[in-house]
Amino acid sequence: MTMKLPTNYTKLSSKGRAAARAQYVREQNGLCWHCKAPLDEDPPKEITDKKLNWDLFPKNFMDNPIHLQHNHLNHQTEGAVHAYCNAVLWQYHGR
């Protein structure tokens, strides 16, 4: 099944979010939307060297290594990202 992307993140079920994430991974050729590194590897050092305030994130935030990035203003999905890239986007860029 192929969905029309981007889509409204807030209207997706957890199954829909997983499907969107998987489709983005395919469409991005397995590369992170943010750092462009392979999603089956760790993000580059310039990302992982950024200090994070873990109090900003839910306890299980890092449980899934690949996240579905979305714009917090318009709720549109943007792509699949490493969990750590998602944290950096949230903390440092308000995304």
Angle, CA 74 vertex, CA 72 and CA 36 arms, to 5° = 60
Q: Per the CATH hierarchy, to which homologous superfamily does domain 9-93 belong? A: His-Me finger endonucleases (3.40.1800.10)
Report how far residue 82's alpha carbon sits from residue 34's, in angstroms, rounded to the nearest whole number. Answer: 8
Question: 72 or 79: which carries more pLDDT confidence?
Answer: 79
**Sequence-separated (6 or more) residues with CB below 8 Å from residue 20:** 3, 5, 7, 12, 68, 77
pLDDT at 30: 98
pLDDT at 41: 97
pLDDT in tens, 31-78: 999 999 999 999 999 999 999 999 999 999 999 999 999 998 999 999
Domain edges within the chain: 9-93
Q: Is the pLDDT of residue 29 over 80?
A: yes
pLDDT in tens, 55-67: 999 999 999 999 9
Q: What is the pTM of this model?
A: 0.93
